[in-house]
Structures are given as structure tokens and as C-alpha cells.
Chains A and B, each alone.
Chain A
């Protein structure tokens, strides 16, 4: 039925367009312009003005987006030591882009308006100017050189993991469709692991080598706890397909690749509790809860359950397509003080104790 209706609608649209074209053509009868479907002076004029209209539209949509949604992007409240470096580079790049965009779009659309065709006018025969070409080759070169240099410095400082700072080693383990974390324990060394050692019956889900002395004090958990101010290096593994560990608030991301260990390191700088108290976050959470309240109302009216109010938490998301439930592969991250962390760690089971004895 719906299919039939859709087809009918489509047919009607075609007929409507056909009739409108006919009507328009009839209004043109008697005018001196020849109807050869090539733009005449009227078309040039109207479309020239529309070009200016479109330029304004581009500017307006830019301004509206910044005013209305400008607070959405993660730009200022990074929660890691390297975060501000990325953010400032981002802002510099945005300013460059914004400037170039505004100027070039203006020139493009303004020229399209200014030089709209008129019968009898002749265009300027102007084919080449090496000086101009040189100018707009060299200016981008200089600007890009600056961006490249700052970008490379930022990149290298992020990717070079400072082993001397004695970072806490944590394994991130990805599988369809959840995350696990393995802490290396007091020895700060992860026990060897391979998927071939996985033994579901003994609850060795990560394939950790039970014989490895380093593995004895490992701790496997489903919620990531980090100590504020303490560098951490993640060793990432995946057991099945590609996943990507994306921690947007820490400006951190790395793919998890089956068959190899990838790594990413950073130092968290703001505890979850402190982040919840920042003005920006309070406002964001308030807005989100407004939206959720509205949705809850309509849900309850339908006789369904309402939505829980939202409290902020750092998240680890999967950001590489990994199958059906890719959209719901997440893990909570909690950044806390050393004392809170120790307290939490005390309550966790060691890997050796978590195994099913037989």
C-alpha cells in the first residue's frame, strides 16, 4: 500500500513539474526573448543577485552554527596534559580556515554578481600573470609551513611516551562489543597474553599466561580508573576485529588491532568530580537534562519508562566500525585521587584469584 502511494506521489510530482514548466512557458509568450534555454540578461541578473544572497546565506549559516552550537565542540575543557596543545593548534587552524573561507567565498560570489553577463559587453582577455600565481603559491606555503611545524611538534610530543616518568601500564582489551582493562599491579608489568590462551571455562577471558610471574598481580576490570596527574600508558589489544579506543575528553584515540599491541599514553589532569563542577560542564549537563526531561515526559505519556537524569562521566567509546552493536560499545572512565584509586583497587580481585579452580 505504502509502495503504491509513494509511486502515485512520485507520478503527481512529475505531472506538477510538467504543468509548472508549461505555465511558466506560457507567461513568456509574446516577450521578445527567444526561448532557446540559454541564459539571457534577465537570467544573468537574477542569478547574479542570488549569488549575493547565497554569500549571505553562507555567512549566516556560519554565524548561526557558531552561536547556536559553538559550545558543543570539545575545544577548551580537555582533561589531559597534552589536551591544551591540541586545542590551541585546533583554534589556530580554525582561525586560519575561518579567515580564508570568509575572504575567498566573498571574492567568488561577489565576482559572480559583479560581472554577471550583459549583451554586448566584452570580457577582459586576461590569461596569465606569473606574479599573481607566485603570490598565491607562496602565501599558502608560508601559512602551511607554520601549521605543519606546530602540528609535528604537537604530534611528536604526544606520541613519544616518556618511559622515565614511570607511567602506569594498563592494557585495554577490546572485543565485540565491550571493553575490559587489565591493570599491571604493583610490579607495573603486564603478564604475557595471547588469544590462544583464552580459556572460558576457567574464566581466563583475556588469554593471560597463568604461568607468567608478571601476570600474578594483574587485575582485570570493566571500569577504567585513573589517577589524576599520574601518567598512564595504554597497551591495546583486540581479540576479534578492529576497534578504536576513543577518549574524546582526553584528546586520545588509538586503534586496537588483532595480532598486535598498539599504545597511547597521556596524563589525566582533571578528576571526574572536578570536571563535573566546571561551569562549562554544569551548563552542558543542565542542557542535556532539560532535553531528557522533555523526552521523559512524552515517554511517560506513552506509558513507557522515563529517562534517568544524566551525570557527567568520562567515556571510552569504540570508534571503528566493529559490527552490529558498535553503537553501544563503551566503558566508563573515572579519574580520581591516589587515595580514592587505592581504595577502589583494594576491592578488586587479582587475576589469579579470579580464575575458576578445577
Chain B
């Protein structure tokens, strides 16, 4: 071992590098290994969050009934197997936090930005491999802290993933606002640091390390999506960090940023002059762009996969880039639509309604461009392609109800009901998850040198697709019936008794959907070791990552970095024998590069 370490010091360049187990698999600075680390950590966090959601759904469908699953997993929080109200709120909170940040931000963006940015732009690695490693390990640390918060005496944070003060600020307001909330805040602060290091690295790498010929207008849309996502991350995450720090000040050092005039448990607290609405502004200034931080990488992945598997150029390449940028810009000026009824000035409500509904325009452009890309294609129905088509479907279904929620007048009556849950789960939850799955199926050969089993992939997709609609489509109706979210049970409202059967249907779909994720998990881990050996370019794709050898080498290309002569969407171009022309193939004599 020590001999290796010694060598490490002398031999520093590129792929001749000898590595120890620790530098190769644990403290790796290679972007491909870091991507895999992100992926597997994200998967594990995802499994945890799915199990939580199933427990929540069981409680809603069969309220206050004894359940062996609760007994086994929740311990003291489910005496005799009956879930307690406190842990229900904790599950709501941690499920949301893990899914939004740990799975769909770090797991999705972390995995694929890391894997694809250097490979697709033609770079040997990220601009700073060291920062990249630090970024992953900060993420890992924050994951551990978040999961550990389940084991503290008074329970994990339970104020909702939005952690609005004063509920989150006052330990006497609920059990979860004690040590559990402290751990949530610490975990998130570390997470944000990780995310910032990652994002800065992505931005710098895309700007500086593109190979010769890789102009911005030849970049695959994946890279555009990751690049713009990283920029919004850099702009908005620090605001959440500041909100978290101010909240820590309020909680621990007696300041009054978010608190004022509070009487709780028989005593008046000293806080004076702060405002919870300020926190809401700070939170949603990140919170809304966060939706697009989650979604844009998925849309980027989908653009690439749909083009490759349609054997056609993506339709409207420039319009796609323009809509990514438009969505990113608009996403930073719409946060107030989460706050129409927060008590802020109604005039602001009007402004935010206007900006919010504008987002529908670039979103519509993207959807139509996807559909047109399919038109007259030669569609290769690989599992990744199915998930991409599924994404477009749920993106449309979920996005359309945004027209209702973004309209302040309509929001009054559906705000914080199950309608909202249905909307955002479809448009950012399921869609982003489909983007994640599509990415895994498509780039698994690149990551592990083996293929995922396609038939298991088909089973996984079709069951998931049916269950996703089965869960979230009926949910719109109970939301419009006025059923508030985050209720431990609805049995105290006879008014909602007729919704109980809908909730049972939803839960059954959810359970089936969750069970079939086991197919994916099996496929994933079994294929790492026993999958079919992958060819170098199994999907016959144009992008540069498929010009690297199947066996990973440090520095990506054993020889010189390829030069780029064309955009990445020359599929089925007339004048070529094959239906794809990789980016590193020079233009033929007399061939024109498309003026895209």
C-alpha cells in the first residue's frame, strides 16, 4: 500500500497514474468515479425516501390502523404499529427534503453533470478534480447527517420541507423543531456548500475546457442544460444558505429575523420585529429555481436520448437553447407564486401571476419540439427512450395544471391542497425521475462497461408509467375537493369521507409502483457484475463520450483528445451511409454544416 502511495507522488500525469483502492474508489478525483458515487448515494437516498412515501400513503389510506411495516421501521414512533401524528409530519418533511435535494438535485445533476460534462465537451476531467471530490464528500456527509436525524430523541425535522418559521424555529412548537431541525439545517448548509462547489466546477469546465471545434452552438443539449442549471444553482443556493444561517441565529442566538410577537406554551417570547414572510421570500428565491435545477438536467438528458433514439436531429436546436435560458431566467422571478396568500401585498400577487404564466411559453416550445423530433423518425424503443417519452408525457400533464396554480385567483382555493401535490409530483417529481432513469439506462454502458437488461427495463417502465398516472391523476380531484395536504388523517372531517376511497386507490397504485422499482434495483446491481459486455457505442450516438474506450482510463481518451467538426445531431443526414455521424468526423468535401 505504502509503495503505491509513494509512486503516487512522483507520477502525476494522466492515465499512467497508479492508484490505490482508496484513491480509486473512495477519495477519487476522477469525474467518472465521482459520478458513480453520486449515483449510488442518490439511489440509496431514493430508496429511503420511497419507503417513507409508501408509509405515508398507507397511513392516509388506512388511517390510524396498526401496520406491521410501521412497527418494524418506526419503532417507538408507532406504538403497537399505529403511526403517530408527529412522525407522519416528519416523514412528510424528510421525504420532501431527500427527494428534492438529495435524489433529484445531487443524484440526478451530480451524477450526469459529472459524468457527461468532461466526456461530451472533450475534456480530460473537471476543471478541478479536487473540488469535485470535496463536493461529493460534502454531499455524502450531509446525507449521513440527514438520515441520522431520524435517530434523535425528539424526532427529525417535521415542519415540512419548506421549514417555515416560527414552527421550525421554536423547539416548543413541536418535537421535531429541536435537535432534529438543527441537524436538518446543518445537513442542508453542508449540502449547499457541496452543490456550490459542484456547480462552480461545472460552469468553469464548460466555459474553459471544451475541445477544439466544440463551439457553444455545437454543444449537446445535455451540456447546455447542465451548464444553465449550474448557473441558477450558483445564483440561488446561497440565498437558501443565508436563510438557513439566519434561522440558526434566530434559533440559537436570540435574534429576531423571522420572529415577532409570539406567545407559546404560556409565555411571551422576546422576539420582536421579524417576519416569517421574509423567510418565505428567501426560501422560495431558491425554492422555485430549485424546481428547474431538478428539471432542466432531466430535460437535457431527454433531448439527447430522444434525438439519438429517433435517429433524427433534435428539432429546433436553437429554440431549445433559447427556451432553456428563458426558463432559467424566468425561474428566478416567479418565486412569489408560492406566496399568493402568505399575506404579502396583493399587487405582488398580480406581478407573480404574470411572470409565472410566462414560463408556460418556453415550456410549450420544448414540448412541441420533442413531439416534432419524433415525427418521421425511426424510433428505437430502448428503455431510455421510453422513459424520455414518458417524461414528455408527465411534463405536459403536470405542467398544464401549473396554469391553474400560477393564477393567483385560482390558487386561493387549491393552495396547499392535494392538487398542488399532484401538480408538482408530475411535473418535477416524476418527470425528473424519468429523466434520471432514462440517463441511467442510456449511460449505464458508459459508466460500468456493461448493458442493463432491456426486458427488465421495459417491465420497469410500463409499470412505473401506469402507476405514476394512477397515483397522481386522481389526486387532482381530491385536491379540488378541498382536501388539505399534510393532514395526518382526514377522519376528523366527515366532509371528506367520500374522498377516502380515492385515497385507497392512490395508495394501491403507489405500493405497486414502489414494489416494481425492485426490478430496477435488481437490474442495476446485477448488471454491474453480470450484465452483457457493452460495445463502444451501443446506441450509435454522435456525442464524444462514445469515442472513449469501454474500460475507463484516467483522462478519458488514451491518445489525443478528439477534435470536433460538427454539432451532435447529425442523425440520418443525407449523403452519409450510416444514420449517424459522430462529432469528431470531419465534414466531407462539399458537405455543409447545418446553419442551426
User: A: which residues have CB within 8 A of B?
Assistant: 2-3, 6, 10, 13-14, 17-18, 21, 24, 35-39, 43-44, 46-48, 50-51, 54, 57-58, 61-62, 65, 69-70, 72-75, 85-86, 89-90, 93-94, 96-97, 100-101, 104-105, 107-109, 111-112, 115-118, 121-129, 132-133, 136-137, 140-141, 144, 147-148, 151-152, 154-156, 158-160, 176, 194-196, 198, 200, 207, 239-242, 244, 246, 248-249, 251-255, 257-260, 262, 284, 287-288, 291-292, 307-308, 310, 312, 315, 317-328, 330
Residues of B within 8 A of A196 (CB): 261, 263, 268
Residues of B within 8 A of A160 (CB): 346
Give B337-370 interface residues, CB cut-off 8 Å to A.
341-343, 346, 349-350, 353-354, 357-358, 360-361, 364-365, 367-370
Interface locus among B1-9, B389-397, B553-561: B389-397
Q: Which residue of A lies closest to B84 (CB)?
A: A324
A321 touches B498 (CB 8 A): no
A108 touches B263 (CB 8 A): no
A253 touches B413 (CB 8 A): yes
Give B305-331 interface residues, CB cut-off 8 Å to A.
310-319
Which has the most chain A C-beta neighbours within 10 Å: B71, B404, B594? B404
A-B contact count (CB 8 A): 410
B312 touches A126 (CB 8 A): yes
Give B174-212 interface residues, CB cut-off 8 Å to A.
174-175
Residues of B within 8 A of A104 (CB): 367-368, 371, 396
Q: Which residue of B lies closest to A243 (CB)?
A: B167
Contact with B393, one of A100, A109, A128 (Cβ below 8 angstroms): A109
A242 CB to nearest chain B CB (Å): 5
B351 CB to nearest chain A CB (Å): 10
Residues of B within 8 A of A115 (CB): 310, 374-379
Interchain CA distance A85-B364 in the complex, whole Å: 27
Q: A58-B397, A240-B170 are in contact. List 4 more A-B contacts (CB 8 A).
A: A108-B370, A117-B311, A136-B368, A327-B490
B315 touches A127 (CB 8 A): yes
A136 touches B365 (CB 8 A): yes
A38 touches B316 (CB 8 A): no
B52 CB to nearest chain A CB (Å): 15
A160 CB to nearest chain B CB (Å): 8
B342 touches A257 (CB 8 A): yes
Residues of B within 8 A of A324 (CB): 85-86, 89, 174-175
Asked whether B522 is an interface residue with its Cβ less than 8 Å from the other chain, the reply is yes
B350 touches A156 (CB 8 A): yes
Q: Which residue of B lies closest to A14 (CB)?
A: B522
B379 touches A116 (CB 8 A): yes
A127 touches B473 (CB 8 A): no
B572 touches A125 (CB 8 A): yes
Could you list 29 A-B pairs, sorted by A, with CB under 8 Å? A17-B522, A21-B453, A37-B451, A37-B452, A65-B476, A69-B502, A93-B403, A93-B410, A101-B397, A109-B393, A115-B374, A122-B378, A123-B310, A123-B378, A125-B313, A125-B572, A125-B573, A126-B313, A128-B596, A151-B409, A244-B341, A259-B273, A312-B495, A320-B164, A321-B164, A321-B486, A327-B486, A327-B489, A328-B492
Interchain CA distance A89-B386 in the complex, whole Å: 36
Residues of B within 8 A of A109 (CB): 389, 393
Residues of A within 8 A of B501 (CB): 291
Interchain CA distance A39-B450 in the complex, whole Å: 15
Asked whether B173 is an interface residue with its Cβ less than 8 Å from the other chain, the reply is yes
Given the known inter-chain contacts A21-B456, A259-B259, please indicate yes or no for A58 contacting B469, CB distance below 8 A.
yes
Given the known inter-chain contacts A43-B381, A54-B465, A96-B403, please indicate yes or no for A123 contacting B164, CB distance below 8 A.
no
Q: What 0/1 pattern do residues 438 to 476 of B give for CB contact below 8 A with A?
A: 000000000000011111101000100110011001101
Which has the most chain A C-beta neighbours within 10 Å: B159, B312, B341, B346? B341
Residues of B within 8 A of A251 (CB): 412-413
Residues of A within 8 A of B407 (CB): 89, 93, 147-148, 151, 155
Interchain CA distance A53-B78 in the complex, whole Å: 42
Interchain CA distance A308-B490 in the complex, whole Å: 16
Interchain CA distance A57-B358 in the complex, whole Å: 31
Which has the most chain A C-beta neighbours within 10 Å: B166, B403, B501? B403
Residues of A within 8 A of B470 (CB): 61
Residues of B within 8 A of A48 (CB): 379, 381
Residues of A within 8 A of B487 (CB): 326-327
Residues of A within 8 A of B166 (CB): 240-242, 258
Q: Bin chain B's interface residue count.
A: 35 or more
Asked whether B547 is an interface residue with its Cβ less than 8 Å from the other chain, the reply is no
Interchain CA distance A194-B385 in the complex, whole Å: 60
B412 touches A112 (CB 8 A): no
A109 CB to nearest chain B CB (Å): 7
Residues of B within 8 A of A194 (CB): 261
Contact with B268, one of A2, A65, A198 (Cβ below 8 angstroms): A198
Interchain CA distance A46-B381 in the complex, whole Å: 9
Residues of B within 8 A of A44 (CB): 379-381
Residues of B within 8 A of A39 (CB): 380-382, 385, 454
Given the known inter-chain contacts A51-B389, A259-B259, please indicate yes or no for A38 contacting B89, CB distance below 8 A.
no
Interchain CA distance A297-B458 in the complex, whole Å: 45
Q: What 0/1 pattern do residues 404 to 434 of B give for CB contact below 8 A with A?
A: 1001111011011100000000000000000
Interchain CA distance A90-B380 in the complex, whole Å: 40
A117 touches B572 (CB 8 A): no
Interchain CA distance A58-B264 in the complex, whole Å: 49
Residues of A within 8 A of B535 (CB): 36
Contact with B572, one of A122, A133, A136 (Cβ below 8 angstroms): A122
Given the known inter-chain contacts A44-B380, A122-B572, A241-B166, please indicate yes or no for A89 contacting B410, CB distance below 8 A.
yes
Contact with A141, one of B175, B361, B454 (Cβ below 8 angstroms): B361
B544 CB to nearest chain A CB (Å): 20
A321 touches B167 (CB 8 A): yes
B275 touches A43 (CB 8 A): no
Asked whether B255 is an interface residue with its Cβ less than 8 Å from the other chain, the reply is no
A176 touches B173 (CB 8 A): yes
Given the known inter-chain contacts A72-B478, A115-B377, please indicate yes or no for A257 contacting B343, CB distance below 8 A.
yes
Across the A-B interface, the 8 shortest Cβ-Cβ residue pairs: A259-B260, A73-B480, A248-B482, A159-B346, A37-B451, A47-B381, A262-B343, A154-B409
Given the known inter-chain contacts A320-B164, A321-B160, please indicate yes or no for A125 contacting B346, CB distance below 8 A.
no
A90 touches B410 (CB 8 A): yes
A277 CB to nearest chain B CB (Å): 17
Asked whether B511 is an interface residue with its Cβ less than 8 Å from the other chain, the reply is no
Contact with A152, one of B260, B266, B353, B451 (Cβ below 8 angstroms): B353
Residues of A within 8 A of B573 (CB): 125
